[in-house]
Structure 1
């Protein structure tokens, strides 16, 4: 049920959902927003020039620097971006000579990326673990071989020495902010700032238009080898116009975020960074993350420079909530000036949602707008967004202005979702076969995801994410298993017991479950043959699965057997993506022997439900 604006003091500057459905003769539906789309700039440089001219001293980028902070205003960023762009032109770089970025978020990373975009040089940010974990080097080699970079950047040459020593980089210029410990000659990043902008720079920048490729972002590879998404200026600029069209407070005052989300992913690198740039906002680069080692750093940064908008994944909010329960000062810092809480990547647990709202009311007497969104790397990313107040977690909202959503329903009222709009990619890098296959005959991008309506009688109430159509399979009875939805249900039921699960059963008679336990539940040698699983854990999992089975309606929704896997997902063997998600196809293929054990009723490790 929607909340009236008068009930919540924070909800004074939002646009309620306005969207409509068109029903088509073939049974599909087209879902569109009723709001007009804001004007779209031609390239990200327009934003930078606008704010450098109108608010030159406003803070744009900030990061920790020893005991203090390194801060750059919009005027300073524009000056350094133009110098870097001139240096890239002097090296002969252009549209066909990408720059690969090995390290994570930093001011120098942002400056290089914006400098490259300024003159039409694509940047390719890759996951840090591809460079830092030797077992993941094959993923890095795959990307390097695919894009053939003309330049590689890393924040710290010593930290990334093993990656820089790869033969695939032997003839490539390496630029680093810190060069100590480099395994080979390295160009200091400061050298890029010495070039003098000239008319050639202005001419090159003038050629950068909507179709210019700004980035090549590699997908996580959850179902196949990573694909390079051609991310154009139009995609990024249109997406910010689409979001601003339904979040008017973005235009009311410059936003400020403290953000850790990695820039090799579209959420952090395109959605969040560009949102600050588009609206003259401030991005405080958080070098922490929601892990036991990194979270204290995030807390320190929130205390020092709190957000007006918060972007995070559900586990991040859960950790933040736990910390705030014991720390009133942290609660005060986080909620004092907060307009919005945005979560993505998974559904936020309702108890976390509720407690965050309670804290917000306690601190400021108002609730921030709590929203989510849906999209992919291929859509830059937001296509569907929740932009009105609601009382529950799990909703993803309605189409953004300028996005056409095609919904193809099944008899269970679950819909495959496809999208078309200016924020959708033109194709994959040097992969014409997959590029063609990615779109249907009407030009809609085939996402492979499924959604359903909150209320089919009132489509403007929005959509709920409902798993992956591409993960669904049939049992030998011919019954379809909605694997994505069933996996989410299993994870929710088992959330305190397991790390992750895989739904199995393609061409089998029953649905089975591979279970990856939490590391502290595995004892001894960490292999499937040599490790010992905590017997109490086995019993507790069996009880949870029995309770799930008791409420299941039909064989497609009933998990009948499970096997606990001692060996964790392998990044080296492609079972784990850089986002930490599972490559289900690779797991089932690589562990074919365990799949046979899962369906062997005599196996001693089998949990039979």
Structure 2
């Protein structure tokens, strides 16, 4: 079901359409392989720098790996933590856990030992696996936690942690809307990390949605650099491709020169990224006078952070195709809204709700903005072992309260204004950080920025952190002149801090909590 607020409706009202309810095509995620193994067995499904698996080989690889996991004591309802970078082996293990009805808990290897330990403990993991790769972080985590070396076909070298024989098993449900497929821990950008329970039906809905919107088609070749440990990467670099007969080329770390090479040599057709990734690619392309245009690329998607008009225009000039935008969150598997491939927008709207998803605005303000609330087959089962937080996030009617502020246009297009918790109230006026960031990011010397509030006696100040483009300098006085043409006086930053690099999660999302900590320590 899909709906949106309209001018004729009461504030926050929704209007359901006649779209029938979503019915998952399979019981479990790994079952999506079978149709493509039958119809396109020679097509490469998953590929990285070390190995490739065709669809005709993938099902056997998953079954063999599932048997290996079972021999280690993994059963349905167990949580298995996978400390990893993007790879074929990582995806094979995730699909094998689906076959066992165990819960995958993918964790980015670049997290700190404390963060990894907290997740393993909170998830009460039966087993923790550390995939060896071209980078040392996963193996360092494993060796520090007493893991032992092994070599698995289709996966490669990995470290196997000690079995937690006392881990409690969760009930197994036949219903894909009840059985948890993945436990994804949020990055903690707005507070402490939480374990988000995503079901098989949640994730299969995203694969279905991608197909219905022509974002993934059979035979597509997808660049796989977004971390699979993050819900955005998991959905578009594993669930979407295997559900729709596409090929993924996994990369563990982003490098603009590698993206340029892959575009040419592998004739990529679909590109997913976050704004910081695209900004750095454009900067590299200009500095090296390397064209990023290729006749094969048909879809480029942006998500994970606010998109600015400056970046959108620069991308479209550099790549020669429209940059699609979208909005989602871990709790929605993640997709809520997307611009349409067949009708790209000229603004930075995140587009209308995807089919089957309902939207409404709560606590609508005079300017038409309100808290975005979401209901549909994409909404999580809940927060693991935190029914109190689940009850706060999802109300009795099934509406997820996102905490994000949005406006909905008459045509259904959504614009994200900011986070309710991040609004800065300066001299009685609401300041939305995203608006200030978009104005700052329009300056030619700025690569990216983050705006937070700082409490002072009786008020809040606007503080801007800025990452400057390589080889350029930022004159603060000139920047302020530039901003005065774009911002009201009460929105102007009280202080500008230039940083060599803004703190970011592996997904590319800027960690504003760390910036607030820096303010508190100053």
TM-score normalised by the chain length of structure 2: 0.84
Post-superposition shift, 1:143?
A: 0.8
Query: Is 1:146 the counterpart of 2:148 in the alignment?
Result: no
Contact 2:45 2:55 in 1 (8 A): yes
Structure 1 residue 220: deviation in Å? 0.8
Q: Which residue of 1 aligns with 2:30?
A: 45
Residue in 2 aligned with 1:592? 520
Match for 2:415 among 442, 464, 481? 464
Q: Do the aligned residues in 2 keep the contact of 1:236 with 1:423 (CA within 8 Å)?
A: yes
**Correspondence for 2:465 among 483, 503, 515:** 515
Aligned equivalents of 2:223, 2:513: Cα separation in 1: 36
Aligned with 1:226: secondary structure?
coil
Partner of 1:343: 302
1:162 to 108, 116, 140: 140
* Residue of structure 2 equivalent to 1:58: 43
Distance 1:347 1:73, change over 3 A: same
Distance in 2, matches of 1:487 and 1:440, equals 32
Q: Is the 8 A contact 1:153 1:174 kept in 2?
A: no
Given that 1:33 and 1:403 are in contact with CA atoms closer than 8 Å, whether structure 2 keeps it comes out as no
Q: Aligned equivalents of 1:254 and 1:34: distance in 2?
A: 31
Unaligned 5+ runs, structure 1 = 1-17, 131-135, 188-203, 362-367, 522-533, 571-575, 595-609
The whole-number CA distance in structure 1 between the counterparts of 2:502 and 2:300 is 31
SS of residue in 1 equivalent to 2:382:
coil
1:98 maps to 2:108: no
Shift of 1:588: 3.1
CA contact (8 A) 2:425 2:431 kept: yes
Q: For residues 402 and 227 of structure 2, what CA distance do their matches in structure 1 show?
A: 22
Cross-structure match for 1:309: 270
Q: Which of 219, 225, 238 in structure 2 is aligned with 1:254?
A: 219
Q: Does 1:115 find its partner at 2:96? A: yes
Q: What is the match of residue 389 of structure 2?
A: 434
Note if 1:216 corresponds to 2:197. no
Structure 1, 414-423 or 322-331: larger mean CA deviation: 322-331
Change beyond 3 A, Cα 1:34–1:312: farther
State the alpha-carbon separation in 2 of the partners of residues 589 and 356 from structure 1.
33
1:558 to 492, 496, 512: 492
In structure 2, how many angstroms separate the alpha carbons of the residues matched to 1:389 and 1:581? 27
Distance 1:110 1:295 in 2: 24
Tell me the CA shift for residue 489 of structure 1: 3.0
* Alignment partner of 1:377 is 2:327: no
Given candidates 256, 275, 282, the residue that maps to 1:295 is: 256
1:607 alignment counterpart: none
Report the CA distance shift for 1:374/1:550 in structure 2 as closer, same or farther (over 3 A). closer
Residues matched between the structures, number: 506
Q: C-alpha separation between the residues in 2 aligned to 1:351 and 1:329?
A: 20
* CA deviations over 1:425-449 (Å, ceiling 9, x no partner): 0111111221111123432111111
Other-structure match for 1:14: none
Residue 482 of structure 1: how far off its partner (Å): 2.5
Say which of 484, 496, 503 aligns to 2:453: 503
* Equivalent residue number for residue 449 of structure 1: 404
Q: Which residue of 1 aligns with 2:54?
A: 73
Quote how far apart the aligned CAs of 1:396 are. 0.8
Structure 1 equivalent of residue 166 of structure 2: none
- The answer to whether structure 1 residue 399 and structure 2 residue 353 are counterparts is yes
Q: Matches of 2:448 and 2:354 in 1, distance apart?
A: 36
- Give the aligned partner of residue 67 of structure 2: 86
Provide closer, same or farther for how the CA distance between residues 469 and 349 of structure 1 changes in structure 2, counting only shifts above 3 A. Answer: closer
CA drift at 1:547? 4.3
Instruction: Give CA deviations for 1:437-467 in whole Å, capped at 9, x if unaligned.
Output: 11234321111112224xx4x324x122222
Q: 1:347 to 1:565 in 2, by over 3 A?
A: closer
User: Structure 1 26/345 Cα, relative in aligned 2: closer, same or farther at 3 Å?
Assistant: same
- For residues 243-277 of structure 1, give each alpha carbon's deviation from its aligned partner in whole angstroms, at most 9, with x where no partner exists: 33333x745x4322122111011111123321111
Please name the residue that 1:27 is paired with: 11
When residues 46 and 77 of structure 1 are mapped into structure 2, their CA distance, relative to the original with a 3 A threshold, is same
Larger Rg: 1
**Deviation of 1:518 (Å):** 5.1
Superposed, which structure 2 residues align to 1:217-366 within 5 Å?
A: 217-247=184-214, 250=216, 253-289=218-254, 294-321=255-282, 331=292, 335-350=294-309, 353-354=312-313, 357=316
Instruction: For residue 283 of structure 1, report the CA deviation from its aligned partner.
Output: 0.8
Counterpart CA distance in 2 for 1:81 and 1:144 is 24
Identify if the C-alpha distance between structure 1 residues 208 and 437 changes in structure 2 by more than 3 Å, giving closer, same or farther.
Answer: closer
The CA deviation at 1:515 is 3.0
1:516 CA drift (Å) = 5.2
Contact 2:62 2:93 in 1 (8 A): yes
Whether contact under 8 Å (2:439, 2:486) holds in the other structure is: no
Q: In the aligned structure 2, how far is the partner of 1:28 from the partner of 1:57?
A: 50
| CA 148–88 in structure 1, closer or farther in 2 if over 3 Å, else same | same
Distance in 2, Cα, partners of 1:217 & 1:304: 33
Coordinate RMSD, CA, aligned: 3.6
Aligned partners of 2:328 and 2:335 also within 8 Å: yes
Change (3 A) 1:432 1:279: same
Separation in 2, partners of 1:567, 1:327:
21
Q: Any idea what SS the aligned residue of 1:29 has?
A: coil
Displacement of 1:320 in angstroms is 4.0
Q: Is the 8 A contact 1:452 1:465 kept in 2?
A: yes
CA apart distance, 1:328: 9.3
How far has the Cα of 1:520 moved from its partner? Answer: 8.6
For residues 159-178 of structure 1, the C-alpha deviation after alignment (integer angstroms, 9 at most, x for no partner) is 33431244xx44x7775656
Counterparts of 1:327 and 1:370 in 2: how far apart (Å)?
22
- 8 Å contact 1:210–1:234 — kept in the other structure? yes
